[in-house]
Chains A and B, each alone.
Chain A
Amino acid sequence: MAVQMPVAAIAGLAAVNFGFRVAGPVFRRRFTIPPRAERVLSSAAAVMLLSLAATSALTQGHGFAGWARPAGVAVAGILAIRRVPFPVVVIAAALVTALLRLAGIP
């Protein structure tokens, strides 16, 4: 399996992140972010996170990932809603998925 992540992509992501972080200290005297823009950005992050969660839970390549993974992620979601500590949420996802696979569910 030839998975690649070019150096340019790693540097690009680091640069984009640094740009977002440095803008505040640099420009704070010249302008402020409109609250409306801030809300749109925060909603955009919510949309992306949920889409990434859904696609990476349900699909593998261009097809269905099998039942074990989405089941583990669903359990994690329920625990997250109940405000269970983060490490427990993550470990529960892996554990449920692993146990289902052990039981023969792919």
Chain B
Amino acid sequence: MSPAQRTLYRDIALVCLADAVVGASFGATATAGGLPAWVPIAMSLFTFAGGAQIAAVTIVLAGGGPVAAVAAGGLLNSRLLPYGFTVADITGTGPWYRRLLGVHFTTDEAVAFAMGQRTDRDRRFAFWATGITLFALWNVATVAGTIAGTMIKNTGAFGLDATFPAVMLALALPTVTDRRTGAAAGTGAAAAVALTPVLPAGLPVLVSLGGLAWLWRGRRDKAAPTAAGAASPGNGGHD
């Protein structure tokens, strides 16, 4: 093994271990909140996307409907759409079962590690190493979390309820890359909190998307119609 490969292995292992902590917290919080253990386990197996799983379960635990949960989780994972195009040369070749697994293993982590490599061979290697390790650890951690969640009776005393918002905040902060996005996210979050007492659970988070209006502020002359048209193919995927 070359030193570069050894560093790559180590980085992949560290990132996957960090995700395992989140996976365990997901399993524990979902079961402690009253969901049967198979729900978080099935979600980790078949959805395999931390942010979307946590968003959907947060909404359900807050009393929101399944439609709002799927809409929020789905929209959050719309970023997988551009990822799919980015790694299509890796996931779009080989026998059908390998393509199927490649598609399912398309995550922030696998795409990031693959893009960090120079040659096609290294990209392929980094993608699969991350995908397989993450899938294994994420699901084992979820199961371990559900066991802990069903055993812990007083979850409040352990501060378990603070882990989901902490994960989402830590995921949100790096995505706020410019002032317009910051304004949109700040306004949206403030509106969502203000509307929580009056709207049915799950809706305030969807209403917060109105904050996106900031993106078009001050460039209505020409950019707005183009942007609205450009957004439609991406939005079509939510139906």
Contact = CB atoms under 8 A, between A and B. Distances in A.
- Do A and B assemble together? yes
B209 to A, nearest CB: 6
Name the prevailing secondary structure of the A interface residues: helix
B149 interface: no
Interface residues of A, number: 82
A18 B42 CA distance: 14
A71 to B, nearest CB: 8
Contact of A55 (B166, B193, B234): B193
Interface in A38-89: 38-59, 61-63, 65, 68-69, 72-73, 76-77, 80-81, 85-87, 89
A60 to B, nearest CB: 8
Contacts of A104: none
B115 interface: no
B196 A20 contact: no
A93 B233 contact: no
B5 to A, nearest CB: 23
Contacts of B173: 77, 80-81
B175 A42 contact: yes
A20 B57 contact: no
Contacts of A44: 75, 78, 209, 212
Name the prevailing secondary structure of the B interface residues: helix
A37 B170 contact: no
Contacts of B231: 36-37, 40-41
A97 B160 CA distance: 8
B58 interface: yes
Interface string B159-201: 1111111111111110110001100111011111100111001
Contact of A41 (B42, B79, B168, B180): B79
B52 interface: yes
A75 B86 CA distance: 35
Contacts of A99: 159
B77 A17 contact: yes
14 contacts: A2-B34, A21-B106, A24-B88, A24-B92, A25-B102, A31-B233, A36-B226, A37-B230, A40-B212, A40-B230, A50-B172, A58-B196, A97-B162, A98-B159
Enumerate the 5 nearest inter-chain pairs by beta-carbon distance, A residue then B residue, closest first. Answer: A24-B84, A97-B159, A93-B166, A9-B66, A49-B172
Interface of A: 1-6, 8-14, 16-28, 31-34, 36-59, 61-63, 65, 68-69, 72-73, 76-77, 80-81, 85-87, 89-99, 101-102
Given A42-B181, A50-B208, 12 more contacts: A17-B52, A20-B74, A24-B83, A24-B84, A41-B81, A43-B180, A50-B188, A51-B208, A62-B197, A80-B169, A93-B162, A94-B158
